[in-house]
């Protein structure tokens, strides 16, 4: 579920075509804000896709996750046997959870002049674990289910946690990734006050400019990116189509500031190095990095410098692109969308582009796959996610062995 389409094939096609999913906000009147655009999921009818009764009991972030998970399960042709499904976990990341429900119900209570008519579904819709819970109930998955919340690293932390559950034998498979739906007046107002968002209201599709000298902030996005990860022997035994193998991950903390990026990238270097050690790979093995690349003035140079420090001269031979240039920054869902993109890069030997890259920045000196997708062998790829609070998580994807 993405600003570039509501099915995986469409998302991948438009990503490789370098299309932008950014436009003026349609879900509310944003005229009073300094930023009036975002990357919204479009043509989404939850009543039609989920059923009106069930959809009314889900916040938008849960609706996104549910539909995306259903597609992943169908694509995997995952067995319906109860004895298999009782060994499947659901671990999803979300940075904020049901903020849309909070905004709508709070607004309604103020209009009515009373809190006494608050919906009995308010709390179950608001809570961050609602998305994994609904997926577990609907598909009969009885393994561990929970949500991870580490800001913009939430989805990657969920993938790392799910990987451990499968690798250690706690689950035979897991639904994982991230989901977020924060395009609300509350979130836009908060980020505008922080001066974190781009203000290119005259040209929204060209506003998100990762690694470009003229970047002026990130573009808020939304959606869900869901992976079904499975123990290798179990997948092979049932003849599953395998796009990529998760080889390992690296996590670290900046221990620096609640929102500011550590300018030297020390924490990011640790995460990159730990990811390679976990996967048993060397810098020369890495072909592609799906960067965090949010298009912020400080964040992009810090990430670029960290990649240079971690990988030395080989850093200049790695394709490094930011798909956020097309999807916007979906916060807790970002690593899910980018995990799907990275797995498909490995499967198809294609590096998606960084669009809107026009003016090289002397502080950002890597190969950012500018503006046009690149056909190239992608044997091993990294997906970077870094969040407010100094959370860093890097996932390593490789061709199936």
| 97 vs 149: CA distance, rounded Å | 9
Which of 330, 19, 365, 379 is CA-nearest to residue 155?
A: 330
Bridge partners for 220 per DSSP: 329
- Reported in sequence order, the residue ranges of 40-109 that DSSP labels E, i.e. its strands, are 88-93
Contact between residue 222 and residue 39 where contact means Cβ atoms under 8 Å apart: yes
Asked if 152 is an active-site residue, the reply is yes
Which of 284, 291, 245 is CA-nearest to residue 268?
A: 291
Catalytic residue among 292, 364, 391, 393, which?
Answer: 292
| 293 vs 326: CA distance, rounded Å | 11
Dihedral class, residue 331 (left if φ above 0, else alpha if ψ from -120 to 50, else beta): left
Catalytic residue among 8, 16, 134, 152, which?
Answer: 152
| 114 vs 50: CA distance, rounded Å | 31
Q: How many residues are recorded in the chain?
A: 401
| 401 vs 239: CA distance, rounded Å | 15
Q: What is the DSSP string of 329-387?
A: B-GGGHHHHHHHHHHHHHHHTEE--BTT--SB-TT--SB--BSS-EE---SEEEEEEEE
Rounded to an integer, what is the distance from CA 206 to the centroid of its chain? 21
Asked if 208 is an active-site residue, the reply is no
* Helix (H) or strand (E) run with residue 229 in it: strand 223-230
Taking residue 276's Cβ as centre, other Cβ atoms within 10 Å add up to: 23
| 198 vs 88: CA distance, rounded Å | 40
| 264 vs 256: CA distance, rounded Å | 11
For residue 228, give the 3-state DSSP assignment. Answer: strand
Catalytic residue among 192, 208, 329, 364, which?
Answer: 329
Contact between residue 304 and residue 211 where contact means Cβ atoms under 8 Å apart: yes
Asked if 292 is an active-site residue, the reply is yes
Contact between residue 339 and residue 177 where contact means Cβ atoms under 8 Å apart: yes
Question: Which of the residues are catalytic?
Answer: 152, 292, 329
């Amino acid at each position: 579920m993405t600003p570039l389409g509501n099915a995986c094939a469409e998302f991948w096609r438009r990503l490789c075509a370098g299309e932008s999913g950014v436009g003026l906000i349609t879900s509310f009147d944003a005229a009073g804000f300094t930023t009036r655009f975002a990357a919204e999921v479009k043509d989404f009818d939850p009543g039609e896709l989920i059923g009106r009764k069930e959809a009314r009991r889900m916040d938008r972030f849960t609706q996104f996750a549910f539909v995306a998970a259903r597609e992943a399960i169908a694509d995997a042709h995952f067995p319906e046997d109860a004895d298999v499904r009782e060994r499947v976990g659901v671990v999803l990341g979300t940075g904020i959870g049901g903020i849309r429900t909070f905004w709508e119900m709070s607004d309604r209570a103020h209009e009515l002049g009373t809190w006494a008519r608050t919906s009995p579904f308010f709390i179950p819709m608001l809570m961050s674990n609602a998305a994994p819970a609904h997926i577990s109930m609907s598909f009969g998955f009885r393994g561990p289910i929970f949500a991870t919340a580490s800001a913009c690293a939430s989805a990657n932390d969920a993938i790392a946690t799910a990987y451990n559950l499968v690798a250690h034998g706690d689950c035979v498979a897991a639904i994982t990734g991230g989901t977020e739906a924060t395009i609300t007046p509350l979130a836009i107002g908060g980020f505008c006050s922080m001066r974190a968002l781009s203000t290119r209201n005259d040209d929204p599709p060209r506003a998100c400019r990762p690694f470009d000298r003229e970047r002026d902030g990130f573009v808020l996005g939304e959606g869900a990116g869901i992976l079904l990860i499975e123990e290798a022997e179990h997948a092979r035994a049932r003849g599953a189509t395998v796009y990529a193998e998760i080889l390992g991950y690296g996590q670290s903390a900046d221990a620096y500031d609640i929102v500011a990026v550590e300018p030297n990238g020390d924490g990011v270097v640790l995460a990159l190095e730990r990811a390679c050690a976990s996967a048993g790979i060397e810098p020369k093995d890495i072909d592609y990095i799906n960067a965090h690349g949010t298009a912020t003035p400080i964040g992009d140079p810090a990430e670029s410098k960290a990649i240079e420090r971690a990988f030395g001269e080989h850093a200049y031979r790695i394709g490094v692109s930011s798909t956020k240039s097309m999807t916007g920054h979906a916060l807790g869902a970002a690593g899910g969308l980018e995990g799907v993109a990275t797995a498909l890069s490995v499967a198809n030997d294609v590096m998606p582009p960084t669009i809107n890259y026009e003016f090289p920045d002397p502080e950002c000196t890597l190969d950012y796959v500018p503006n046009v997708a690149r056909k190239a062998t992608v044997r091993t790829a990294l997906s970077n996610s870094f969040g407010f609070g100094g959370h860093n998580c890097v996932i390593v994807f490789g061709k199936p062995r």
